[in-house]
Chains A and B, each alone.
Chain A
Amino acid sequence: MQTYAKKRLEIIVEAPIQERLTALLDRLAVTGYTVLPALAGRGHSGEWSREGLVGGAGRMIVIVCLLDAERVDSVLEAVFSMVSRRTGIVSICDVQVVRPEHF
């Protein structure tokens, strides 16, 4: 099957930032993204787990979006300016998609 090269942007960030970050992606005209719950983990800021929590603080989420390579720099710059002072991880990797017109 014919596949096409795209970039996968993955942002692991604190749950209270979710709405701001997705609003930013909307403003940047990113064609789509998926928000996933993260269960638990450990990193530079220590251990965390979403079990039992009532408020958003302490929970982490993952936002995944696929982009055309040409758009990566502009999106990444804007995303990083929002998340750079916060707990989280931003990563990019190469992926193959079957419907290039969607991204």
Chain B
Amino acid sequence: MGDTLAIALTNLTSPMVLFFALGLAAALARSDLALPEAVAKALALYLMLAIGFKGGVGVAAHGVDAKLIAALAAGAVLSALIPLVAFGILSLVSDLPRADRAAVAGHYGSISIVTLVAATETMKSLGLDYEGYLVAVAAVMETPAILTALWLAARGRKRDAAQEEENGSLFREIALNGSIVVLVGAFAIGLITGEKGLADIAPFIVDPFKGILCLFLLDMGVIAGRGLRAGYRSLTPAVIVFGLTMPLIGAVIAAPAAWAIGLSAGGAALLLTLAASASYIAVPAAMRVALPEARPAIYLTLSLGVTFPFNLTVGIPLYAAIGQYLTG
């Protein structure tokens, strides 16, 4: 317990969290602080490239084994199943329309890469090793949740041939969205080039990584604060409580899988982080195409304004503690 509190305190006073808090406070105070859209996109791509590459190098060093396959399968199953749990809980505690419940559920089944990036930094600061292939698990977890969300939404409405036609091309767009292409591509390049490749580009992807993550989190804080300012009226107390507890439920669902696969303490913590995180890049865009009647004021505000800050401040240290407990 004391260790968990110490980890939490260290995390809360890390530059990452403090820059996020600065952005959040600035947006809530109506400051004009903002990164241009192109800069924010470039920073996001940089983070995907760096974490993907380092993940690939990690796998190149340790080799491919059955654990990797099991982790990928577990990720896909978690992503498909967590929305069912989220949808059920929302149906019990809220009177949100079906489309909103399905869209929110999809966000919680899918993942937030930036939460994963922040968690890897926490693992490093705690001295916890993790399996590099969890980056690939993250990529696998992006899409199944969207399929489940669309299935949940479709169960409650008449067939819409035009929408179904649009959804057909949607899955290609999700699978090939820029973030995933860079993440998976950089993973493959890291896998091929290994430690030598990493040494070649370390001044670009290792040394500046933390500083760029801080800048990106500053922007995320601004976006979260802006979302909260505009969307807080749309969230009932029960829905906010959902946004704070669903990450924990996702982590608890993932814990047996992490234990059964035999992940390291850091690896288990990262799988829990993935299961606990909620998407705010790929899934919102997919929902705007496939479920336009679902309100971004609900799902984006919950995902980015409630769950992301929770995971960044409280969740990640907790998942680190659970990871250490699971591995004895």
Binding site for B on A (CB under 8 A): 14-17, 19-20, 45-47, 49-59, 81-82, 85-87
B44 partner residues in chain A, CB cutoff 8 A: 54
A47 touches B230 (CB 8 A): yes
A55 partner residues in chain B, CB cutoff 8 A: 280-282, 284-285
Chain B residues 26 to 42 lying within 8 A of chain A, measured CB to CB, are: 34-37, 40-41
Q: How large is the interface on B (under 10, 10 to 19, 20 to 34, 35 or more residues)?
A: 20 to 34
Q: List 13 A-B contacts (CB under 8 A).
A: A16-B285, A16-B288, A16-B289, A17-B288, A20-B166, A20-B289, A45-B297, A49-B34, A52-B37, A52-B40, A52-B219, A55-B282, A81-B162
Partner of A53, one of B37, B287, B293: B37
Query: Can you add 19 more A-B contacts, CB < 8 Å, to A51-B35, A54-B40, A57-B284?
Result: A17-B288, A46-B297, A50-B37, A51-B36, A52-B34, A52-B36, A52-B219, A53-B37, A54-B41, A54-B281, A55-B280, A55-B282, A55-B285, A57-B285, A57-B287, A57-B296, A58-B284, A58-B300, A86-B292
Most buried by A among B41, B226, B287: B226
A57 partner residues in chain B, CB cutoff 8 A: 284-285, 287-288, 296, 300
Q: Is the interface of A mostly helix, strand, loop or mixed?
A: loop
For the A-B complex, the count of residue pairs with Cβ-Cβ distances under 8 Å equals 65
Binding site for A on B (CB under 8 A): 34-37, 40-41, 44, 162, 166, 169, 173, 219, 222-223, 226, 230-231, 280-282, 284-289, 292-293, 296-297, 300
Closest Cβ neighbor of A23 among chain B residues: B169
Closest Cβ neighbor of B296 among chain A residues: A57
Q: How far is the CA of A30 from the CA of B302 in the complex (A)?
A: 40
A51 touches B289 (CB 8 A): no
Q: How far is the CA of A49 from the CA of B37 in the complex (A)?
A: 10
Smallest CB separation, B158 vs chain A (Å): 14
Most buried by B among A14, A16, A50, A59: A16
**A56 in contact with B285 given A51-B34, A51-B35, A81-B162 (CB within 8 Å):** yes
A81 partner residues in chain B, CB cutoff 8 A: 162
Closest Cβ neighbor of B34 among chain A residues: A51
**A85 in contact with B292 given A49-B226, A55-B282 (CB within 8 Å):** yes
B226 partner residues in chain A, CB cutoff 8 A: 49, 52
Closest Cβ neighbor of A48 among chain B residues: B230
Nearest first, the 7 closest Cβ-Cβ pairs linking A and B are A57-B284, A55-B281, A51-B34, A56-B285, A16-B288, A86-B292, A54-B44
Q: How far is the CA of A54 from the CA of B186 in the complex (A)?
A: 19
Q: How far is the CA of A17 from the CA of B170 in the complex (A)?
A: 11
B41 partner residues in chain A, CB cutoff 8 A: 54
B173 partner residues in chain A, CB cutoff 8 A: 19
B219 partner residues in chain A, CB cutoff 8 A: 52
B230 touches A56 (CB 8 A): no
Smallest CB separation, A50 vs chain B (Å): 5
B289 partner residues in chain A, CB cutoff 8 A: 16-17, 20
Q: How far is the CA of A41 from the CA of B156 in the complex (A)?
A: 33
A53 partner residues in chain B, CB cutoff 8 A: 37, 40, 223
Smallest CB separation, B226 vs chain A (Å): 7
Smallest CB separation, A48 vs chain B (Å): 8
Closest Cβ neighbor of A37 among chain B residues: B37
Q: How far is the CA of A42 from the CA of B36 in the complex (A)?
A: 19
